[in-house]
Structure 1
Amino acid sequence: MEQPLVSVIIPCYNQGIYLEKAIESVFSQSYLHFEIIVVDDGSADQTKEVVQKYSSVKYIYQTNQGVSAARNNGIKNSNGKLLVFLDADDWLLPDAFFININYLAQNPDAVFVSGAHELYYQPENKNWLIRKEVKENHYCRLLEGNYIGMPAVAMYQRWVFDEFQFDTNLDYCEDYDLCLQIARKYPVIHHTELIAIYNFREDSVSSNILKMLKYALLVLNKQKSFILNNREEACLQHGLSNWKTYYSEKIYNRLHFQLYGPELQVDQQELEALKENSPELYAKFITENGFNDDANLAV
């Protein structure tokens, strides 16, 4: 049986300190027919030097254009029948390719397969298993929330990128946007076997709550023109509500930390976002801390 080539595309922008572990996680795979392409998105750190340690890793440099452009550039310079997008600060588990290839072999109509991941919270050295079972209605389930969670758990058929690309206008949630576009039109599958580790840090892109909220809502609102029936509309509205609730709770908790932390002040933009997306939590925060509704709490 022919073994398909897997192209692993690793965009990297000033994350050279983590890059070696990401690359090593690919070389540690039980499935050995792969290529690695690192797209240096204008880094000013040791990214190039790290890649030069590996003679078989293809290095591509581009001026800083963002992660979507870097991934799209990697696609153009890859040869694999199957594609995986690994962020430079995350890593794959040893059987990641083997597991996903088997699922695709059993589901030949599927355009991509995704699995579970483990969240590693670096500041506290803690791990959480993120595993969600989704067997059907994948487009609706994605409208309700991003059950995939991170790019590296997905493996894509190459041909789909003749039709779709990562949206370079999105600074966040670009992988969520791509999966929505694909799942709306083609069959996809999901399983609960562990594929990758998501390395969550205080300076991670996903730790920017306001940007994540903004772009998650933007990505969902892009789907409005494609909604076909009442069920999809209900899923879309549920998803918008879910994202507002999820990030509003994070904002609410962070505002409390700010107010009673060393700086004794809150971020006005976060306060305004809370007011816009969760008037109930905003009112609760204002009331329990003895502020007027029109108070500017930022110093």
Structure 2
Amino acid sequence: MFFRVPIRFSMNPYLKNQDFEQTRTLIVRLFYGFAILIWIFKYTNGVWLHQVAHPTLAYITPEEVQWLWYSTGIPSWILATDLRALTVDLLLLASMLLAFCYPRQRWWPPLFSGLLCTYCLTGYLYYFARGHNLSGFLLMSFLPWFQSHRRFAAYFQFMRYFLLYILCSAALWKLYNGVVWDYDNQLPFILKMQHAEYVVHHPDAWRSHWVRWLLDQPALNLILLKGAWVLQLSCLVGFFTKKFDYFLLTAVVLFFIGDWLVMNLPFYEMYILVITLLPWQAVRLAAKPPSLISVV
């Protein structure tokens, strides 16, 4: 009798049961349910394609992708008539609904991502949708493409690190440029610049009163802004361990709420990324590499 130790790849037995499929279905439906709510919210804000049809000026930057998209003539062709723009809007909504109802279907996620990319590029070109708001949402739309357990789990983990990178890099940039130490001088200017348009158009709204009160509380402002910087910087921990993901989840949610209240920066398309900080046990097990050595 002897022991033979061959090196081979063996599948994680956890992947053979139905738990992962149920978890994947839940995550996919959470994403598309959120996408439907975002799309309805955009309609109420008047930023569907057919609601901004016939734009006169394009906001063209030196970015190669934007120049290439503009040179194809597709955005101007879509927005030339209300019917074409409305068709794209309805196709985008239909792709969300179908992907939500049939989360294991392969065809609807690529259709949704393609239409969403069309909306993002066109919106960025004509200045009714900002790229940094939609970047995480667009990247998240590729997650349902993956049917393989391992690839789905790997991309899900990638989106977790992407969220942490966005917040952590912003904190490090503020530290490098010394902005975090100069809030005393910049604070009133930042608040007035961020809220001026809203206060002018809605002088009696609760938020306008909140901004005026906030301007009279420089000490509180300083605490809030530096506290937000600390919340951003805390995301650095997530690159080394997942033990504190509950804390990071709380920190990210608080940061998003504070960013909206204090800085008037509603990155609501990014909110869906917080689900990557939840303890999806099936996803984490699937992301682990298979056993390389087994004893026969």
TM-score in same-fold range (> 0.5): no
Q: Could you tell me the TM-score, scaled by structure 2's length? A: 0.23
Structure with greater Cα Rg: 2
* Higher RCO (C-alpha 8 Å, min separation 6): 2
Q: Which is helix-richer, 1 or 2? A: 2
Q: Which is strand-richer, 1 or 2? A: 1
